[in-house]
Amino acid sequence: MGTPADRGYDGAGPEAPEGGPFFTLAEVEKRNTAKETWLIIRGHVYDVTRFLGEHPGGEEVLLEQAGRDATESFDDVGHSVDAQEMLKEYHIGEVHPCDLKPDPSKVPNKAPSSESSFWTVWLIPIVGALVLGLMYRFYMMDGRSS
Ligand code: HEM
């Protein structure tokens, strides 16, 4: 079995301490071969290179998921509690927090939507001020005519 000691982590990064290190999705994506096989499960990064030959489900399925988020595939199989426990042995870090949520700068139509929020923010007070101004004007005219 691949214990942290015998899998001999190759020094590409430190052993996984709690809360780090962090890897970007781009860094994980590069490790998508049998030479270096990383995958993501629930925001954690796992180096399963040394597990390829030991995985009871075969190395093919791991290689298919290499370099990407395997959470759905991992859960779909209905892995046992033992398998969930084994994850710890291959844990090398976390997905960088910036990559956990969608990047707002990559959301299309960002400019128009921020423009439209600009108008909803300003249009309501402007229209409100105009209505108040008109009401005041009519009130004053009423006062003068009576
Ligand atoms: C580090 C990640 C993984 C670990 C530690 C792991 C571990 C295991 C273990 C211990 C088993 C034996 C059955 C069990 O105890 O549930 C197993 C079976 C299996 N695993 Fe994984 N697995 C991992 C990732 C994956 C991924 C990403 C897939 C993608 C589809 C996958 C697909 C399978 C399949 C198809 C089986 C065979 C199920 C069967 O014969 O009933 N595993 N895995």
Residue ID of nearest Cα to ligand 1 atom 30: 73
Alpha carbon distance 27, 64 (integer Å): 17
Residue ID of nearest Cα to ligand 1 atom 25: 74
The whole-number pLDDT of residue 109 equals 56
pLDDT band, very low/low/confident/very high, at 8 (cuts 50, 70, 90): very low
Specify the pTM: 0.66
Flag whether pLDDT at 40 surpasses 70. yes
- Cβ pair 90, 47 in contact under 8 A: yes
Instruction: Identify the residue whose tokens are 């707002």.
Output: 104
**59, 69, 77: residue to mutate for ligand 1 pocket, most atoms within 8 A of CB:** 77
- 38-41 and 22-23 as β-strands: parallel, antiparallel, unpaired? unpaired
Residue ID of nearest Cα to ligand 1 atom 34: 57
